[in-house]
Amino acid sequence: MRIVTGIALFAALSAPAIAQPVLVESEEADFAIVEIASGLEFPWSIAPLASGDLLVSEREGYLSHVDVESGEITRLAGLPDDVFVGGQGGMLGLAIHPDFDENRLVYFAYSRGDGRANHTSLARGRLSEDHTRLDDVENLFDVNFEKRRGYHFGGRVQFLADRSVLLTTGDGGSHQNEAQNLENHLGTVVRINDDGSVPFDNPFATTAAAQPEIYSYGHRNIQGIALHPTTGRVWTHEHGPRGGDEINIIRPGDNYGWPVVTYGINYNGSVISEETEGPGLTSPIWQWTPSLAPSGMAFYSGEHFPQWEGDLLVGTLAGSMLLRYEVDENSVLSEERMLTEYGQRLRDVVVAPDGYVYLAVDDLDGRILRLEPVVN
């Protein structure tokens, strides 16, 4: 992959409003990077609407509607008044209810509390017809562990085909061993019904002392989630410590090992575990060492990039690039690293219903970018 425009990349993407596109060649498809909106405060998650516009959560405590034609940003009223903005916390993942056209329900994850006691929560609200507020906001789920400081919230949201909803959580940063403790929700994937109730078929719904919402456990900090386009299975990726970022296929009830096994080490260089796999523990299908801090993931489906059909797209923070993976049902086959010369942290990557790819640039002056095909 290489940049082939004569325009300076950083200048093109740092201009206000809609900047001149930057042209990129990649292995399978050439595309243009088009800036859709700027001025968002650490955009975290993008939820495309059927209208073509976007909802975007901003970590600094906002949920915004973005008009993709004009770039106009409208911050919604009606959010909870106890959003904890600090460290990695704030407004996090978004998902549109599968029946949004009928119920207009938006689901959002956020950190709740303060610096002394906080946790990840999931709430929902009804988007007004004029895209200016959320009405009927209600909290559906709270992690049952109050932690200090603002680290490792997880926060991605994904609906399943049966209308149940998954929420990823983190281990809290200072509580890594709790990821092995089924009595709390730290370091898990949580599954609830769309009204907040517990599905009867959750793997620990009838297990004494276990939290019935837990779907899988033994995770460090899941930052990406998507459904495989042919199998429908849940794929996630999570941050390791120093090394050992992982892609996992989630199976209900499975233990993914953190911190009993890991490919990473502590930030100070000390060993967390000598083992990378163990009996009764599910291993990742892919791992990154050194860490790239993956964030946001989506399987591509659409008319604009037929060469990418079924491929997995992953944004990265520390790696400052967009990754494309050819995959089969259970494994990663190849990797392409794109936008390596861009030098910006990518917090989210989504594929809209119209087949365009949108990226969220993680910055105080954050941007939404769209990838558009270039026909040679």
List residues with catalytic annotation: 152
Query: What does the block give as tokens for 6?
Result: 């004569």
Pair of tokens at residue 246: 């992982």
A 10 A CB-CB count for 287 gives 19
Q: What is the 3-state secondary structure (H, E, C) of 298-324?
A: EECCCCCCHHHCCCEEEEECCCCCEEE
Q: Find all residues with CB under 8 Å of 152, minimum gap 6, and list them.
A: 88, 170, 171, 172, 173, 220, 221, 239
Q: Which of 124, 96, 129 is nearest to 109 (CA)?
A: 124
Pair type for strands 214-217 and 322-327: unpaired
3-state secondary structure of 13: helix
Q: Kind and range of the H or E element at 78?
A: none
DSSP per position, 80-95: -TTB--BTTBSEEEEE
